[in-house]
Structure 1
Amino acid sequence: MLGKTYDREVCSAARALELVGERWSLLIVRKALYAGARRFGDFRSLGIATNVLAGRLEGFVEAGIMERTDVNGPEYLLTEQGRELATVVVALTAWGDRWLAPDGPPVHYTHTGCGDDVTPRLVCGTCGVLHDADEVHARPGPGMPAEIAARMAQSEIVPPRST
């Protein structure tokens, strides 16, 4: 979708950007998640050109992020893969609220069960919530080619410390 591939990047974030990195993509997903958008016309309020919207929706269908049903006319429904993008939408919104919303958050994402705000967190499976991104280290996973994993181990790549 981006018109550029990241074939040289061995990175799941780069692969994800291929599918949802275009400027309208997460807005379409947000509209489907939190405004109940399902039909082509429901997404038009975003102000997207119809050809771009059609391309994004079909791209999402091809990628497995949405499925198209024609029971009551054409509808685009988020799949499990698409619904899991809620984490990304909430995290990106929280970042925007902190750094780009001088008058405060325009929207609060809240838990349906209790009504409290939902917030993104970095969480360690053993220790719980982390307090700073500096507490996270990137290490090779099973999908990393052996030669790149060896270079990473030699250089001991760690995240930069903030000043």
Structure 2
Amino acid sequence: MEPLQAVIESFPYIISGMGVTFGLVGMALTLGLVVGIPMAIGQVYGRKWIGKFISFYVWIFRGLPNLVLLFLFYFGIFPLMGLNISAFFIGALVLGLRSAAYQTEIFRGAILSLGEGQMLAARSLGMSKNQAIFSIILPQALRIALPGWSNEYPI
């Protein structure tokens, strides 16, 4: 009965830790979504140098392990800039930027799966490039990306 008693006594700490974990995951996924969709659009429809820069970003953040990124930001980048930022915020930022790299690829694949005909049809109706992207391409791409995006949760 003693192990069960230890779990019961630790229960408030477990609940508190779950709250921190859910907050961290929520912040990371939100940042990943807010950064990932524009980067996917930029990679597909942007200028060549923008696509190359985004590809490099994705390559770096998908290629380095989480722990290396956390150490790099916590002990390297922010101290060199003279910033004293909490470990929670740095963790959320790093996980969010890493999630953005994965989500960029998810949404890029969804946009490319639509084919060029959707953009051509929207442009032939007199829509600007931005109108076509946000009114025609993006809603369809988000629907297509949903299964892949749902696998992004276990960052």
Q: Write 1 or 2 for the structure with the bigger share of helix.
A: 2
| Rg (Cα) greater in structure | 2
Q: Give your verdict on TM over 0.5.
A: no
Task: Sort the TM-score into its range (normalised by shorter chain).
Answer: under 0.3
The two structures have a TM-score, normalised by structure 1, of 0.26
The two structures have a TM-score, normalised by structure 2, of 0.27
